[in-house]
Amino acid sequence: MKRPTATTILCLALFSAAFVAGKGNPAAPDRPDSLPSVWFYTEGIKQHTIAGDTSRAREYFREAIRRDSTYAPAWYELAGSLVASSPDEAVDAARRACRLDTANRWYQQFYGQTLLMTDRYGEALKVYRRLMEENPKDPDNYRIVAALYEQRQSPFQALVTLDSAEVRFGRIPLLSSMKRRLLVATNQIGKALDEARTAVEEAPYEAANHVVLADLYAADKQDSLALAEYRTALAIDSTNVQTLMSLADFHAGRQDYRSLLSVTRRLFLSEELPLELKIKRFEVFTSDTRFYREYYFQLNDLASTLAIRYPDDPRVVELYAGHLIASGELEQALSLYKSHLADQPPVEQYYRMVIDIESYLQHPDSVDRYVTKALELFPGKVEFHISKGHVMNQTKQYGLAIRAYRESLRYADTDSLRSVIWGMIGDTWHQKALGNDSIPEEELFARAKLPGRKGRSGIDRRAMKECYRSYDRSLAYWPDNTLVLNNYAYFLSLEERDLDRALAMSSRVVALTDNNPTYLDTHAWVLFKSGRLDEARKLLQKAVALDGQNSPELMLHYGDVLHELGEQFMAEIYWQRALEKGYDPQPIERRMKQPAQTKPVE
């Protein structure tokens, strides 16, 4: 804090002119004044300290300097008014004040501070060394000089400075801490230990001193002595957070994770450690799946501790529910979320999670109930309108699903989201076109040869037209919607119509994505329908390898392409694999009875 100089106090006592308002250069009073610079300086002080008008104060200080460029107090105050807005100008003004009044230590200290603020550490070191010599009774000058030496990578000179301070002032905790750190940095662990042991002897009941000594023993690989000092520190204060944190770091460094988690539990029980840090620590522990699995019971204890201590904090509810979900305890997580649905104000995320879990557990009635309640509480949330559509879709109420999706469009605020919703509408029309048949859609399209709107075991062509219209609207909002492009191309290929357009769309999907087996399969199938068998075979071979032979549709398609290429033996192998993966037996049996194709002549 700056002290007013004797001149300042005198001026404030002698000059009580009214504040000068308005813009432009300030004017001196009409009456004769033998000290015009002092008057302007005083008015600047008033504007700065009383009126809080820094800009106007600068005008007065500059006018005082214009009238008397050797008036050091005006330079000093000008520097102070420029620190926030123009640090470099503040340095220049502070330098002028120091040169004009070399005996004023306040000016020198402020000059040093401005140099530090502008990262001019070399110049700052010279200023503070001079201050240290002129005012050797201020330990803060020693601290700053030592820090500047360290910043200039001169740790030994910093240590010499700190030794001088210790000789003059005795042990000061902050300077002693700097000294120990520098001794460790210069590999003088023995000296650092001597310093720490001396501190313990001087104040044996200070837990912090034992922790410092323990940390140094740990750095010197003297683990048994380190643990003894940690135990002594905890005996003095068993709940000290800094002691527990240091002990936790010690166990982490030794990869003794059981001991680490045991200490962490004590930290989680402490009221002094902020909840944010507890949550962050838990997230670090659970970020590694292998670690999570190996130390599940200890981590479960930590999560339970937080849930008990902070039962209503939304962050802890999310953390504990996430832990339960990761543990496979979906029903418990669901119960936890449901128990907080009555919280006030209602929490949107809790409803989302209840709906998601109930959907995963295939409880459509419950999903419908909670979606309806969520819409009552959050009518403008597009996610809940979409969830309503999902519920209706799951229960095969396709008309209601389409209505819910269309309602959600009212709340969609981006073109990409509108595209996604129109894609959902198109998918629902496709489901409606298939009806409730359990036959694979490829078979339905193959059998849809009867005249009329819908034949037996066929598809609803009017619904398929609505599907394509919805996809067109989706792509109008977002031309690179890969899911819509993929489905559109695949359905066109099943109907064997607009194959050039289907090929363009599936090619675009493959270009936009990175070796997705499903998208490769669609592109290959369109190629197959277009008669480009060799290209289809190569793509399907790649897709099968990437998929790990898990998809029955992929196996079926690969078998179909191999059959058309005359490789009947391999085709039957892949058809059989499709059957083993759960594909409908009837289409497989029919394929097996097909006569072998003649292998195309190369």
CATH code of the domain covering residue 556: 1.25.40.10
388 in a structural domain: no
Residue 484 pLDDT: 96
578 in a structural domain: yes
**Cα–Cα distance measured from residue 181 to residue 184, given in angstroms and rounded to the nearest whole number:** 5
Residue 132 clears pLDDT 80, i.e. is over it: yes
Length of the chain: 602
Residue 16 clears pLDDT 50, i.e. is over it: no
96 in a structural domain: no
Residue 408 pLDDT: 93
One-character DSSP codes across 310-349:
STT-HHHHHHHHHHHHHTT-HHHHHHHHHHTTT-SSPPHH
Model-wide pTM > 0.75: no
Q: What is the mean pLDDT of the chain?
A: 85
100 in a structural domain: no
SS3 391: helix
Tokens 């009044």 correspond to 101
Residue 490 pLDDT: 93
Range with the lowest mean pLDDT among 254-258, 275-279, 586-590? Answer: 586-590
Structural domain span for residue 597: 505-602
End-to-end CA separation in angstroms for the chain: 92
| pLDDT band at 395; cut points 50, 70, 90 | confident
Count: domains in the chain = 1
Read off the pLDDT of residues 238-256 as tens digits, 9 standing for 90 and up: 999 999 999 999 999 999 9
How many CB atoms sit inside 10 A of residue 450's CB?
Answer: 11
How is residue 409 annotated by DSSP?
Answer: G
- What is the mean pLDDT of the segment spanning 516-540? 92
- What is the mean pLDDT of the segment spanning 48-75? 87
510 in a structural domain: yes
Residue 24 clears pLDDT 50, i.e. is over it: no
| pLDDT band at 507; cut points 50, 70, 90 | very high
**Cα–Cα distance measured from residue 113 to residue 93, given in angstroms and rounded to the nearest whole number:** 13
**Cα–Cα distance measured from residue 410 to residue 380, given in angstroms and rounded to the nearest whole number:** 9
Residue 9 pLDDT: 30
The alpha carbon torsion through 558, 562, 567, 572 (nearest 10 deg) reads 40
Residue 401 clears pLDDT 90, i.e. is over it: yes
462 in a structural domain: no
**One-letter amino acid for residue 257 of the chain:** Y
Residue 31 clears pLDDT 90, i.e. is over it: no
Give the pair of three-digit tokens for residue 265. 């539990």
Can you give the three-state secondary structure of 183-233, one letter per residue?
HHHCCCHHHHHHHHHHHHHHCCCCHHHHHHHHHHHHHCCCHHHHHHHHHHH
576 in a structural domain: yes
Residue 280 pLDDT: 95
Read off the pLDDT of residues 158-197 as tens digits, 9 standing for 90 and up: 878 877 877 787 777 787 777 777 887 788 888 888 888 8
Residue 5 pLDDT: 40
Range with the lowest mean pLDDT among 186-190, 234-238, 439-443? Answer: 439-443
Residue 332 pLDDT: 94
CA angle 325, 328, 333 (to 5 degrees): 40
Residue 127 pLDDT: 86
Residue 359 clears pLDDT 80, i.e. is over it: yes
430 in a structural domain: no
Residue 66 clears pLDDT 50, i.e. is over it: yes
- What is the mean pLDDT of the segment spanning 329-336? 94
Encode burial over 474-511: b for 16+ CB neighbours within 10 A, e otherwise.
bbebbeebbbbbbbbbbbbbbbeeebeebbebbebbbe
Residue 138 pLDDT: 85
| pLDDT band at 235; cut points 50, 70, 90 | very high
- What is the mean pLDDT of the segment spanning 489-496? 91
**One-letter amino acid for residue 541 of the chain:** Q
> Please, which residues have CB within 8 angstroms of residue 252's CB and are 6 or more apart in sequence?
260
Residue 456 clears pLDDT 50, i.e. is over it: no
How is residue 271 annotated by DSSP?
Answer: S
**Cα–Cα distance measured from residue 431 to residue 392, given in angstroms and rounded to the nearest whole number:** 12
Residue 1 clears pLDDT 80, i.e. is over it: no
- What is the mean pLDDT of the segment spanning 526-545? 91
| pLDDT band at 461; cut points 50, 70, 90 | confident
